[in-house]
Structure 1
Amino acid sequence: MLVEIVLFGGIFLLTTGARCEMTEVTAEAGSQVVLPCKCEIPQCDPAAITWSKDNKGTVWRKQSSGLQYLGSSWFQKGSSRVRCPHSDFVKGKYSLEINDVKVEDGGLYKCKVEFKGRVIEKEIMLRVLQVSFSPSAPMLGDVVSVQCTMSPWPEGAVVNWMVNSIPYEPKNSVIKNQSGRLIKEKALEELAGNWTCFIHKSKNVWKATAQLSFRGIIQPSKDNIKLYAALGSPFTMPCMFSPGISPTWAMVEKLDSEFSPMFKNRSVSTSPSDKSIIIEEVQPENEGKYRCTGIVKTQTLTRSMQLVVAKVVKSKKRGSVMLSCQLSDSSEVTDYEWVHVTYDINGTKSVGSILHGPTITVEDNWGEWTCRYFGKSGLLGNVTTQAYLMAGLSGEKSSAASSNTGTVIGLSFLLVILLLILAQMYKNHQRRKRILQYPALETIVHTISNEREELEKNRVKN
């Protein structure tokens, strides 16, 4: 018996050697995965390489001469989904790249390396994970199936779910199996977003994520959202449905007023899925709650929103102007930022100092000021005003008042002189009129006047 063992060992060492190693790789469906295969023998290239999959034959093969072959089932739209990078061959690396991994790609793969009569075999278990929905884009209110798949499935594994990084608590769901791989749930807004399944077995944990979106009203993006608009500016009240949805009836209505100025404004688009309305110029009465409503087939879809109106209130102080940023609802505002903007003679815009707070006092930096207000998620909106208008008016009023006083005095003086001249002209006219009534008297007056002139001339000559 001992002789047989020694003889068998000698034969094994003298003949072709073979080793087989097992590696496990996981990938999400739709991604790219690399199945490792390395020849540790120095100067392994050129070697004959064969990649195969259990029950599906050859995936990729290269002869030592360099000729390559590809399995027919690995073509997609005229191109191959698998390849081995040639640049790695000289390093003894013959890893297989698989693009656009599918659930059915999961399984056991073998890499066989043949070099100078030696054979090295490696096994790679590829597990493909996927979270899928059926239907893929359900309508709000419909029933949707959520499934966690892993191919091949590890026996005895259990699934936990998270929705938007929050542990999933079944509400209206029906869990189809004990492992939790399949769930049926009513399509509600709070369930939209990222679904992540965690597959647990012993100390191993695998996870896969997919995004669930519902068809219906996509703008506004969520119910009871606050929208911000500057007083006097145009604004679009959103009411947009998913592409491909054409509601048989839809409207935007104001909820807290019997009369809605919205209905005086025009629609934004002629698209059957866009029923948004544009307010040409936002007024204080536009502030309030609105509702976008549409009927799709037999289902009524609604989404509420609130329009918050922002304005800048200016109050004059001695030599300065106080600017106050006021919103009809500031409950979501966490910070106010004032930005000073100036323009040179060429119209080039430059941003100056930045101040914080809902109210600021402007003394020297006249011009354009923009109030930007922020919430927890970032910028909510902005409103712009011209600070120099009020400051300029205060100076113009005083100079205009003094100018007007001088003008009035000058005009009054000229009027008095004009009246005196008219009075004197009237007196002369009356006197001449009286003299013309007595021709003899007029002759006497002229004779006396002529004599006086002669006497004056003679006196000057003497």
Structure 2
Amino acid sequence: MLLAWLVFGLISLSMTEGHREVQEVFAESSSQVVLPCVCNTSSHVVTWRKDNQDTVWRQDKSGMQFWGYRWLQRGARRVRCPHSRLERGDCSLHINNIREGDGGLFVCGFTSGGQSMTRSVMLRVIKVSFSSAAPVAGMKFSIRCSVTPEPLGASVQWRLNNSTFVSASGENLETAQWTVEERARVTLTGEWTCVVVHRGFEGRASASLTVKGIILPPTDDTRVYAAVGCAATLPCVFSPGSFPSKPSWRKLHPGSSSKPPGHLPPSFSSSSPASKPAWDQSARLEDVSLEDEGRYRCAGVVGGQSLSRRMQLVVAKIDRSISWRKMVTLTCQLTDTSEVTHYEWVHVTYDPSGTRLVKSIQVGKTLEMSKVNVEGVGEWVCRFHGKDGLLGNVTHRVAPQNGHLTGSTSSLYNTSIALSLSVLLVLLILILAQIYKNHQRRKSIFQFSALETILHVKSNERDKREKSHVKT
């Protein structure tokens, strides 16, 4: 009998402690939350209180509902217990538009079998805030995760764009660092999430951060690839909505950025067309040459902060040579090959309908063709790849002439024009010489026409005298 009473007492004590157990609920500021409370289906009187003082919501035996004045927002009720759920024994409290001040201990009271029962829920409100909503790259700023009420012994983890954030010092911020201090950079732009874990319960809150700066190129010393004779764009794009003042471009001397700037290429143009937004200060080279390779720097001022980005222009070309064995060798040349992992040669031709046909030939920096015939006609494209994919390409065009390979189409065209012009010039000179010769002959004849007339008259008179003398 004594053992039975002891067991009954332990069960009662455990039930009483269960009723007193506090459940933790985390909610993000400005969001919605449900505070759980399972009650008896026969309960008619249900009361929700906060911190054992203020009444949040109450329903009496008649079914009338009452709200605390702090939970009314411009006449709208921020809290409710859906009637359909009450009938099923669910007395959970629904709260809209959570505020930091809403955090605290909530108690759900109801009657069950003539006894008063309670359920306790601790609401903790999480919020992520920044010391500057839109810092400029280079400025110091902080990110803070606040929890109201603040839990003791909780751990916090920071995530940026769904990835664990690693600080500039290389520290993985998985410990209880409620405030992160960093120097702003464009790579910190995105959604910051604070994950809080306390007594087995987890909560999180997020906020978006925009860092004003140069977003393209994303980092210094980014390489831009271009082919000789083609156009190229040097990107310099600031954060959308930025209006950089004093934009400028410079070509840096090799190995040093402290020396005076070099001369920009003749085809360089940094003027922005009206169609481009103000934050796009990209430049363009219309006709790239080997001399254009090197490092460039774009700069501008945003929010009083000077911003700049360095980039390197890598120029590609194809060298063509013919050996004594009449073998044509094409070599893919780049002014900087540090990022190149492999080369690929592609042969491009066009059928009579103009359809482009692509055929991969081989891998390697050079391409050697032992059959020098019309099969080599078309475009030979050298594609150079890096560890992250295609970096760029350069094209060499070959046109047919008497069944043999020539250089580019443009060189053959220029040679034909030169020969035609030479022949026409020789013919023109011969025609002009003949015209001049005929003109001189006619001119000499006209000078003695009067003398011939006089001699002709004298001759006729002499003949008449001789005839008259014979008659007499």
TM-score normalised by structure 1 residue count: 0.58
- Deviations 1:211-267, CA, capped at 9 Å, x for gaps: 654323333322222223344333322233334443331111111262211674252
Could you tell me whether the CA contact under 8 Å between 1:321 and 1:391 is conserved in 2?
Answer: no
Could you tell me whether the CA contact under 8 Å between 1:312 and 1:383 is conserved in 2?
Answer: no
Could you tell me whether the CA contact under 8 Å between 1:29 and 1:101 is conserved in 2?
Answer: yes
Distance 1:194 1:202 in 2: 26
Instruction: State the 1:147 CA deviation.
Output: 1.7
The answer to whether the aligner puts 1:286 opposite 2:292 as a matched pair is yes
Task: For 1:291-440, list aligned pairs within 5 A.
Answer: 291-296=297-302, 298-313=304-319, 324-336=331-343, 353=360, 356-359=363-366, 367=378, 371-376=382-387, 378-379=388-389, 381-383=391-393, 385=395, 389-390=397-398, 392-393=400-401, 395-396=403-404
Calculate the aligned-residue CA RMSD, in Å.
Answer: 5.5
Distance 2:361 2:80 in 1: 57
- Deviations 1:166-207, CA, capped at 9 Å, x for gaps: 654779xxxxxxx75345555467866776667676877866
Opposite residue 222 of structure 1, the aligned amino acid is T
Instruction: State the 1:160 CA deviation.
Output: 7.2
Which residue, 267, 274, 295 being the options, matches 2:271? Answer: 267
Distance 2:206 2:347 in 1: 46
Opposite residue 235 of structure 2, the aligned amino acid is P
Distance 2:376 2:71 in 1: 72
TM-score normalised by structure 2 residue count: 0.57
Could you tell me whether the CA contact under 8 Å between 1:32 and 1:97 is conserved in 2?
Answer: yes
Secondary structure of the corresponding residue to residue 398 of structure 2: helix
Identity between Structure 1 and Structure 2 (%): 40
Distance 2:357 2:86 in 1: 58
Opposite residue 140 of structure 1, the aligned amino acid is A
Equivalence for 1:215: 212
Could you tell me whether the CA contact under 8 Å between 1:61 and 1:70 is conserved in 2?
Answer: no
Distance 2:377 2:61 in 1: 80
Could you tell me whether the CA contact under 8 Å between 2:378 and 2:398 is conserved in 1?
Answer: no
Instruction: Give aligned pairs, total.
Output: 373
Secondary structure of the corresponding residue to residue 403 of structure 2: helix
Task: Specify whether residues 117 and 208 from structure 1 end up closer, same or farther in structure 2 by C-alpha distance, changes over 3 A only.
Answer: same
Could you tell me whether the CA contact under 8 Å between 1:62 and 1:69 is conserved in 2?
Answer: no
Structure 2: 5+ residue runs without aligned partners? 13-17, 171-175, 254-260, 407-411, 417-472
The answer to whether the aligner puts 1:249 opposite 2:255 as a matched pair is no
Instruction: State the 1:148 CA deviation.
Output: 2.2
Distance 1:84 1:370 in 2: 71
Task: For 1:132-143, list aligned pairs within 5 A.
Answer: 132-143=129-140
Opposite residue 390 of structure 1, the aligned amino acid is V
Equivalence for 1:421: none
Equivalence for 1:152: 149
Could you tell me whether the CA contact under 8 Å between 1:236 and 1:268 is conserved in 2?
Answer: no
Q: Name the stretch that deviates more: 340-349 or 65-74.
A: 65-74
Equivalence for 1:25: 25
Distance 2:111 2:354 in 1: 75
Opposite residue 216 of structure 1, the aligned amino acid is G
Task: For 1:26-175, list aligned pairs within 5 A.
Answer: 26-29=26-29, 35-37=35-37, 57-58=55-56, 103-110=100-107, 122-157=119-154, 165=164, 167-168=166-167
Q: Name the stretch that deviates more: 111-120 or 224-233.
A: 111-120
Equivalence for 1:409: none
Distance 2:358 2:78 in 1: 53
Secondary structure of the corresponding residue to residue 271 of structure 2: coil
Distance 1:115 1:202 in 2: 29
Structure 1: 5+ residue runs without aligned partners? 13-17, 172-178, 405-462
Distance 1:23 1:336 in 2: 63
Distance 1:81 1:340 in 2: 70
